[in-house]
Amino acid sequence: MTERQFSKGDVIVREGDQGESFFQIESGVVGIYGNYGGEDENLLTELKSGQYIGEMAVIDVYPRSATAVALEEVKVIEIASGEIDEYFRSQPDKILDIMKNLSGRLKSLTEDYTDVSEAIRQLNPGKKEGRNENLVAKIKKFARVYKNSKKSADIISAETLRKLETKEHAVGFSKNVESHNKGTIIFKEGEIGNCMYDVHSGKVAIYKDYGKSDETLLTQLMANEFFGEMGMVRDDKRTATAVVMENDTTIEIIYPEDLNELFNENPAKVNMILSHLSSRLRKLTKEYLEACKLIYEISDKEEKGEAISDELKHKAETFSPKYYD
């Protein structure tokens, strides 16, 4: 672990490079850019003291998906990929910090994804005259997001083709393991969460409006999958209901206060949790940019006065947002 300083305008990490270390900001402000230095350069966000740069590339061993630039004098701690275990052992609270950092970005991106999904639902391709000002503004916003992030979108699309190495989650130390029969509700939509879950065996289904006339099955989770982490790290209300679908389904409950012990006894599990969060963020980013691309392609045709193809119309009419909660 090395303390480093950067002057205003210095590039800390560059989009497309292989990630071999990540950074914890001690002081200063860092800008995260898509297509930095290009014609469509886009400032995505700004990071400050206590936040992290480049952790996803190290956790998942992927190329950098954006460029980080010092916007003023910046001081960071650089943690090489081979030093992560040492970093967590010396500062166990950083495990939860990184989880909160990733989940915060997930929450913000989920809100954007919900927004762009709703815009597509209202789009009605080729009929601009029926749109209100709010929808017109959203169309311009999301078309601009895709145009400015096209290079990043191409990198992310390539990354998501690679599968993470998976291990049996039931192997090694586990603290809170329970067995449930079919029909057991693990948590309900609207409840405040304080833990996450790891499916060791069996099956869990995630429903929206469970038990109501408009009940919707969002996804089914099998062995070696995590769920419910957003509630654990952000004390958010559960946005869906989790229901056991098979008898003798075995689930591990993970609380924030368990992470230090879990890392000491079974560090592979903590690394899998971080990889899960990072992978979720990458996949959601890919889906978000693809939704923005659909709006961009339709609005571009409309601006040029060209006919909207049946394929584009079909994509808009049948668009269905993926579940990433």
184-197 average pLDDT score: 94
Query: Boundaries of CATH 2.60.120.10 in the chain?
Result: 2-90, 177-254
Cα distances (angstroms) measured from residue 315 to each of 120, 190, 293, 312, 320: 9, 32, 11, 5, 9
How far is the C-alpha of 120 from the C-alpha of 115, rounded, in Å? 9
Q: Does domain 2-90 have CATH number 3.90.1150.10?
A: no
How far is the C-alpha of 205 from the C-alpha of 137, rounded, in Å? 37
Beta bridge partners of 309: none
Please count the other Cβ atoms lying within 10 Å of the Cβ belonging to residue 55.
22
pTM (2 decimals)? 0.82
41-48 average pLDDT score: 87
pLDDT of residue 243 exceeding 60, the answer is yes
From 80-94, 164-178, 196-210, 288-302, the region with the lowest mean pLDDT:
164-178
pLDDT of residue 109 exceeding 60, the answer is yes
How far is the C-alpha of 282 from the C-alpha of 66, rounded, in Å? 12
- pLDDT class for 161, splitting at 50, 70, 90? very low
pLDDT of residue 230 exceeding 90, the answer is no
**Homologous superfamily in CATH for domain 177-254:** Jelly Rolls (2.60.120.10)
Segment holding 109, helix H or strand E = helix 93-123
Q: What is the pLDDT of residues 6-28, one digit of tens each?
A: 999 999 999 888 778 899 999 99
Burial of 70 (0-12, 13-18, 19+ CB in 10 A): buried
pLDDT of residue 155 exceeding 60, the answer is no
**Residue 166 falls in which region: left (phi positive, over 0), alpha (psi -120 to 50) or beta:** beta
- pLDDT class for 77, splitting at 50, 70, 90? very high
The single-letter code of the amino acid at 48 is K
Determine the pLDDT at residue 325: 47
145-164 average pLDDT score: 61
How far is the C-alpha of 29 from the C-alpha of 48, rounded, in Å? 5
C-beta separation of 233 from 269 below 8 A: no
How far is the C-alpha of 287 from the C-alpha of 293, rounded, in Å? 10
| Short-list 264, 280, 231, 224, CA closest to 59 | 280
| Short-list 302, 156, 129, CA closest to 316 | 302
Q: What is the pLDDT of residues 258-275, one digit of tens each?
A: 999 999 999 989 989 998
Segment holding 262, helix H or strand E = helix 259-265
Alpha helices in the chain (DSSP H): 55-60, 84-90, 93-123, 133-148, 150-159, 229-234, 259-265, 267-304, 310-317
Average pLDDT for the chain: 88
Phi, psi at 68, each rounded to 5°: -105, 125
Strands 42-47, 30-34: pairing is antiparallel
148-168 average pLDDT score: 59
Determine the pLDDT at residue 61: 64
| Short-list 197, 189, 190, CA closest to 241 | 189
Question: What proportion of the chain, given as a percentage, has pLDDT over 90?
Answer: 53
171-189 average pLDDT score: 94
Beta bridge partners of 13: 68
